[in-house]
Chains A and B, each alone.
Chain A
Amino acid sequence: MKNMFRLLMRHALFWPSIALVLLLAGSAAFNPAFLSVSWHDGHLYGNLIDILNRAAPLIIVSLGMTLVIAVRGLDISVGAVVAISAAVAALMIGGSFSADGAVNSDYPLWAALATALAVAAACGLWNGLLVVKAGMQPIVATLILMVAGRGIAQLLTGGQIITIYYAPFFTLGNGYLLGLPVALWIAVLTWVALHLLLSRTALGLFVRAIGGNPEAARVAGVRSSAITLCVYTFCGLAAGIAGLIVSSNVKSADANNAGQLLELDAILAVTLGGTALTGGRFTLAGTIIGALIIQTLTSMIYSLGVPPEVNLVVKAALVFTVMLLQSAEFRALVGRATRGTRATSR
């Protein structure tokens, strides 16, 4: 029994899960209705469902970010890509009123979605090319798109917030399927697809090998440039999907504010989930828990009536704590301190 507990404690998902459960329990203690889920208008309804729905874009982006970080990279342009994808979709769908009052989309919905996703994937590919072919540091390579990306999105929308009137598009961010939010289904699908791809093929092993030691992986015959390119492209695509969900949710595309600071939340979610920022070790499930922790924290702060601005300070404190716990030097320091107190208590 004790052994089992120790095994459990050593499991990568143990601490992130405990943090999430504690947060939920804390919220429930302050607000007993927090955990209640009911059936309303043909779908599930409640704070928990709301958290899952709102966390979906973050989960999707964070999954892409996890892989990028796993190959020793970083993508700080995801927020800008969200804005670009939303702008492209909004421009192509637009919505013109026909004579009988119905709203038509300018292009077929599937064409608009496909174009937006293709553009987002191209953004990711661009980042990947800069990292792999031009050999730039990932932060710098993606900084370029982070700076220019919002400019491009504003150029597309003409600096305006574009409102979308075409109702079928709203399903992505507001619709329900089998009682659960469509956005959640998309996030789950993304996760399952990635999980199967990484655990049922050698791809997961390759990604770990590249992150563990890029040079050794290359010598061992792993096609690291091609895989790294794919990973960045997927991260762009993930940001694109998130952009569609976000713009569908607010029924508009705002080049200035869509996906603002999302890159930071995504990196935070990945770190909280237990993926090493130094690359090599990653966990997709951990990332999802990390994203849920962030969203639960936000919802909890709102529901407690604390000014939402406190959120930033709490997030910062969280990052500092997690970073210190991951640092070997800090563990050594704490280890010495606890051993010291044990010695004196004896």
Chain B
Amino acid sequence: MNALMNRRLLPLAVTMALFVAMAAFGAFTYDGFLAPQVFLNLIIDNAFLCIVAVGMTFVILSGGIDLSVGAVIALATMISAALLAAGWNPYAAMAVVLVVGAVFGGLQGYLIQRFGLAPFIVTLAGMFFARGCCYLISTESIPINDATYAAIAQARIPLGGGASLTIGGLIALAVVVLAMRVAHATEFGRTVYAIGGGESSARLMGLKVDGTKIGVYLLSGLSAALAGIVMTFYMLSGYSLHAMGLELDAIAAVVIGGTLLAGGVGYVAGTLFGVLILGIIQTLIAFDGSLSSWWTRIVVGALLLLFCLLQRLFEGRTHKGA
């Protein structure tokens, strides 16, 4: 049992060690890297990625994948901006966006569960559909001039010592804490792990497999919509090209966070560190100043490769052990 726990925790430990190593490298190489605000900015600048990656964690834990999240974020920013431009109450607009995201994700989950379709292809079509809907609303960027949104965007929560967090960052952290609780202390969470471990066994155990599978995609759609709202705080605009390719970053964050793509093994906390690692790569490249931004993509690709190979190693050992 102890050895099994270690095997499961090892990828998480590797991820955390990697983050600490990168932070240490930054601290030694660049002046002012170790300031608290630099690390808070990791969360502030990647708040939407963090939220959507947490939703993706549940999908991947259940053995599925959701490629539509980037497009749903863009749709969320578009709907927010369009409703605000039409004079809606900002909180009503947010509620509508959340409902749209949840319904969108839920419908995808229904197609996947009810008709046994491949999650990859359903969410791919969902991605086309959501981006298409963005264009139908408008092909131009819609600015947001609402006073409430502007106030939320500029609000800073002081944390002492001159460091501060934005509302978006706070929401991201709250989502992480809530998701950890859902994953490890609720029936839903345990069923998700069970489905990822083996769907037919989960069914034989009498778990609510069907509802949970739909619920996982509903949750992912909901978190994408929430991420879209946080993005509107960050960008103060709605645009159909927002969050292009963000689904790949989210999947990368989940994998780097130590979650097995085959499902069943992983931690929400790992995803948080995965997001932080993606963020710190960008920060390191920004601090360096001489490296171009496309190095980010190459480094993320290399890290993905590293962690996938690592996972194969663990999987091989687990099978031999069993």
Contact = CB atoms under 8 A, between A and B. Distances in A.
Interface of A: 74, 130, 134-137, 139-141, 143-152, 154-155, 159, 264, 267, 271, 277, 307, 309-317, 319-320, 323-324, 327-330
A137 B128 contact: no
A320 B132 contact: no
A136 B308 contact: yes
Interface in B100-136: 111, 114-118, 120-122, 124-129, 131-133, 135-136
Given A140-B308, A154-B292, A309-B132, 12 more contacts: A134-B308, A137-B262, A143-B304, A149-B301, A151-B296, A154-B297, A155-B295, A267-B121, A277-B121, A310-B136, A313-B128, A320-B129
B153 interface: no
B135 A312 contact: yes
B27 to A, nearest CB: 26
B251 interface: yes
B312 A137 contact: no
A150 B294 contact: yes
Nearest to A321: B125
Nearest to A332: B115
Given A323-B121, A329-B114, A312 B131 contact: yes
Nearest to A318: B125
A145 B301 contact: yes
Contacts of A317: 129
Contact of B111 (A136, A149, A151, A320): A320
B128 A315 contact: yes
Contacts of A151: 294-298, 301
Given A147-B300, A312-B131, A315-B128, A141 B294 contact: no
B65 A139 contact: yes
How many chain B residues sit at the interface, stated as a range, is 35 or more
Interface of B: 65, 111, 114-118, 120-122, 124-129, 131-133, 135-136, 139, 240, 248, 251-252, 255, 261-262, 292-298, 300-302, 304-305, 308-309, 312
Contacts of B114: 329
A70 to B, nearest CB: 15
A316 B252 contact: no
Nearest to B302: A148
Contact of A316 (B125, B248, B262, B305): B125
B251 A143 contact: yes
A313 B111 contact: no
In the A-B complex, the 5 residue pairs with the closest CB atoms: A148-B301, A309-B135, A151-B297, A312-B132, A313-B132
Q: Is the interface of A mostly helix, strand, loop or mixed?
A: helix
A193 B305 CA distance: 34
Contact of B261 (A140, A271, A277, A329): A140
A309 B65 contact: no
Contacts of A150: 294, 297
A154 B262 CA distance: 32
B308 A307 contact: no
B133 A319 contact: no
A12 B292 CA distance: 49
B200 to A, nearest CB: 16
12 contacts: A134-B308, A143-B304, A144-B305, A147-B300, A148-B298, A152-B298, A155-B298, A310-B136, A313-B128, A317-B129, A319-B124, A319-B128
A154 B301 CA distance: 14
Contact of A309 (B115, B116, B139, B292): B139
Given A155-B294, A159-B292, A264 B124 contact: yes
B127 to A, nearest CB: 8
Contacts of A136: 308, 312
Most B CB within 10 A of own CB, among A143, A159, A324? A143
Contact of B132 (A152, A310, A324): A310
A144 B129 contact: no
Contact of B309 (A134, A143, A277, A316): A134
A330 B115 contact: yes
Contacts of A148: 297-298, 300-302, 304-305
B238 to A, nearest CB: 15
Contacts of A312: 128-129, 131-132, 135
B301 A144 contact: yes
Contacts of B293: 159
B117 A313 contact: no
A316 B301 contact: no
A145 B309 CA distance: 14
B115 A144 contact: no
Nearest to A141: B308
A161 to B, nearest CB: 14
A324 B125 CA distance: 12
Contacts of A152: 298
Most B CB within 10 A of own CB, among A141, A145, A313? A313
Nearest to A315: B128
Nearest to B240: A309
Contacts of B312: 134-136
Given A144-B308, A271-B121, A323-B125, A307 B294 contact: no
B316 to A, nearest CB: 8
Contacts of A329: 114-116
Contacts of A316: 125-126, 128-129, 132
Contacts of A271: 121
A319 B125 contact: yes
